[in-house]
Structure 1
Amino acid sequence: MDLVVVKFGGTSVGDGSRIKKAAQSVVNEYMKGSRVVVVVSAVNKTTDELIGLSDEAIGASLTDKQKAEIMAMGELTSARLFSATIESLGVKSEFIDPYSELWPIQTDSNYLEAKIDFNTTRKKTEGILQLVNQGVIPVICGFLGQGPSGEITTLGRGGSDITAFLIGHCLDANEVIIVTDVDGVMSTDPNKIEEAQLLEEISVEELRDLATHGAQVLHPHALKYKDPLITAKIINFEHGDLSSKGTRILGPYEGEMLKCVTLYKNPISLIAIVGEAMVKTPGLIAKLSGSLADSDINIFGISAGQNSITAFVDKTDSNKAYHLLHKVVIESDVLSSLSLGRDTAMITFVSPDIIDTPGIISEVTEPLRKNEINIVEIISSQTAIVLFVDWEDGEKARELINEVLE
């Protein structure tokens, strides 16, 4: 029998009728012959209300331990409600919270941003599997963990998504279903653009980047536990049907695959274009990049300043690109000159943790400074840092950055 892990977000259990509808969808799936494990969030806005009450009543003297225990009340309540609703529909269920002997998710002692002990957690999920194989539907509190001394910890905002993928991974589930208040992943925010379209599928990498840059669909850290053998999808609770299509999440998160340092195989040439008031000229970058695109020349990056723009191209294309960009310069009233720079090595450091790691750029660049490796250019985003160094220093720089990663 297939094993399905289903996570219900706060909106999907926002009131009694929604809880009953969600529980019925689980029972329907169970009746089809599937083994089902439920992960449930706190009822919509409960956690925010609990935090607000705590701040108002206690203020700054509230300890992290107390805050974690208070915040946990939302999930403790919703798990009990959900489990009881399943049983009212005629199927045996059991809620699992950090006070239960079967509680699986083990963490360090950080109360509010706990790190998961994956190996211990995997062993502890054996008890959940035994329960499932007995025909019982476990309802597990999302967002919560258990520290080394049995204390309640939390996994941070969006932690219920982490719980679902983590449990799915540890149980070798066939599928993880995220039930939320949208039909799936859209081409953009439908509240801002009415023409937004539902995506039938999206890769782990694309979804991670969307979530990291603010899309309120799925917690980006949850995708660390996306097993390559497990299918996953996001569906709308309104359908009341776990077989709804929604958006499929494709591909694995294979350990360090999304946390790596790579050195591009060829030298990268830098072409610097200078001029006056460039930053105030609309469409300037489009003209420059368009002239290269028309000749099928790939741009590895663009760096823009007040009076200069630097384009990064493969050395094999650099002479052609140089001449093409020169034509744009002499035809422009804003641009004045350009130069073809030295050969550089392009090193890319990719990690979903970049956005949540203060000082990570200094950590990556400090060993280069100590080894007198000059950084020609640096470009960063919320998930990647791209460094350009002299070509002869490329391999050494990659090794030094890898040591930081390790």
Structure 2
Amino acid sequence: MRVVAKFGGTSLGSGDRIDRAADSVAKAVREGHQIAVVASAMGSTTDDLLEDITFDAEESDRAEIVSMGERTSVRMLKAALAARDIDAVFLEPGHPDWPVVTNSRGEVDVEETRKRTQKLAEQMGDVVPVVTGFLAEDHDGNVTTLGRGGSDTTAVMLGRYMDADEVVIVTDVEGIMTGDPHVVEGARNVGEITVDELRNLSFRGAEVVAPSALTYKDADLDVRVIHYQHSDLLTGGTDIEGEFENIIDMRDAPLACLTVAGRAIRNSHGILSRLSGALSDADINIDGVASGMDSITFYVDAEVAERAENVLHGEVVAEDTLSSVTVTDDVAVIRVLGGDFPSQPGVVRDIVNPISDAGISLHDVITSATSVAVFVPWDDRERALDAVQDHFEG
């Protein structure tokens, strides 16, 4: 097997942990596997270095300074592997075989990075490359960085471009857990999770695998998360399945838009729960919810609109802070699902502007970390879909 093993800062946080990491790599190599290693900075080195930059440093100087954590880690790991009679070489920006290249905008140069990574992969039968995570270099040889979670990004990107069988993320948790084991009693490991599930957890604070890394995962590349105390790189932990896709989807049935108005609804405890609970009790599915200071809007199937209106009206009559409910029929929804929306400035504009340019009015726009839903008049749905598709797929 060809495997990329990424060791996070916690898993390299002490000499004992570096020994443990080297033991696991050496074991896999002796079993006949081709292993490439990606190393984060030891412990909290990068954060410590950033905190110490209290002066107005140029971006190039900041990148050079924070690179010292990863540069130290790869030297430590290479030395630990050499002590175990494993032929290894550390790679950092400036090395002739350095693989990760960024363009003038600071984005990964995919063509050049793929070419260099494939060349590096050809050497893996004879040597273990130990690569600094998080770092890159531009075409002029200047050090750049891949942003938050950049070591994860390095690992999955290299795994994809070198046609690896698997990327193993070694961290301080035993795979993906059902809850935070430091907070929740009885938290247990999840054996499998999809990319879509994990990206939603990651965007909402689960610091396991960076969403930017998962954008490089394709269906043929296995990604697994294991605990640093696990001695075998090739077993255990949580398997991450599937791949990110930009999906543009239009619901094939009309919706109705029901808006409940009231006084300072957002500051009224339990109003949203009462209204959505009443719809649920009536077996009415909610397709989308939007809220303002003085209103809450529900999108439901058009065929149950009348029943939903009566349910919500009953809540309006029973609650002094609510004043009225109104219905707009024949609404269409188009959803754009993406892998890494928070790191794409202007993505909402890129969805909304083509619809506006086509002269189509918007009922609503509802966003999350991984999707944007636009609600338009039913009769304009095809034109709106074409406008969005032309922009994203053109």
- Pairing partner for 2:286 from 279, 299, 322: 299
Q: Report what 2:114 is aligned to.
A: 122
Q: Distance in 2 between matches of 1:195 and 1:284?
A: 32
Q: How far did 1:249 drift?
A: 0.8
Moved more, 165-174 or 197-206: 197-206
Q: How far did 1:333 drift?
A: 4.5
Q: Report what 2:83 is aligned to.
A: 88
Moved more, 176-185 or 354-363: 354-363
Q: Report what 1:39 is aligned to.
A: 38
What letter matches 2:120 in structure 1? I
Q: Report what 1:196 is aligned to.
A: 187
Q: Distance in 2 between matches of 1:332 and 1:64?
A: 56
User: SS of the residue aligned with 1:183?
Assistant: coil
Match runs of 1:174-213 below 5 Å: 174-213=165-204
User: SS of the residue aligned with 2:156?
Assistant: helix
Q: Report what 1:24 is aligned to.
A: 23
What letter matches 2:103 in structure 1? D
Q: Report what 2:125 is aligned to.
A: 133
What letter matches 2:17 in structure 1? R
1:312 aligns with 2:299: yes
Q: Is the 8 A contact 1:109 1:153 kept in 2?
A: no
Q: Distance in 2 between matches of 1:43 and 1:260?
A: 38
Q: Distance in 2 between matches of 1:312 and 1:36?
A: 51
Aligned length: 393
Q: Is the 8 A contact 1:5 1:164 kept in 2?
A: yes
Moved more, 318-327 or 91-100: 318-327
Q: How far did 1:244 drift?
A: 4.5
Q: Pick closer, same or farther for the CA change 1:129–1:367 going to 2, 3 Å.
A: closer
Deviations 1:131-186 (A, max 9, x none): 1122x211111111121122222111211000110111011111111001111222
1:49 aligns with 2:40: no
Deviations 1:268-287 (A, max 9, x none): 11112233454344433333
Structure 2, unpaired ranges of 5+: none
Q: TM-score, normalised by structure 1?
A: 0.90
Q: TM-score, normalised by structure 2?
A: 0.92
Q: Report what 1:271 is aligned to.
A: 258
Q: Pick closer, same or farther for the CA change 1:230–1:353 going to 2, 3 Å.
A: closer
Q: Report what 1:393 is aligned to.
A: 380
Deviations 1:234-258 (A, max 9, x none): 11102333245222111123xxx2x
1:160 aligns with 2:147: no
Q: Report what 2:95 is aligned to.
A: 100
User: SS of the residue aligned with 2:229?
Assistant: helix
Q: Distance in 1 between matches of 2:363 and 2:142?
A: 49
Q: Distance in 2 between matches of 1:340 and 1:186?
A: 42
Identity of aligned residues (%): 38
Q: How far did 1:126 drift?
A: 2.5
Q: Distance in 2 between matches of 1:151 and 1:179?
A: 29
Q: Pick closer, same or farther for the CA change 1:64–1:92 going to 2, 3 Å.
A: same
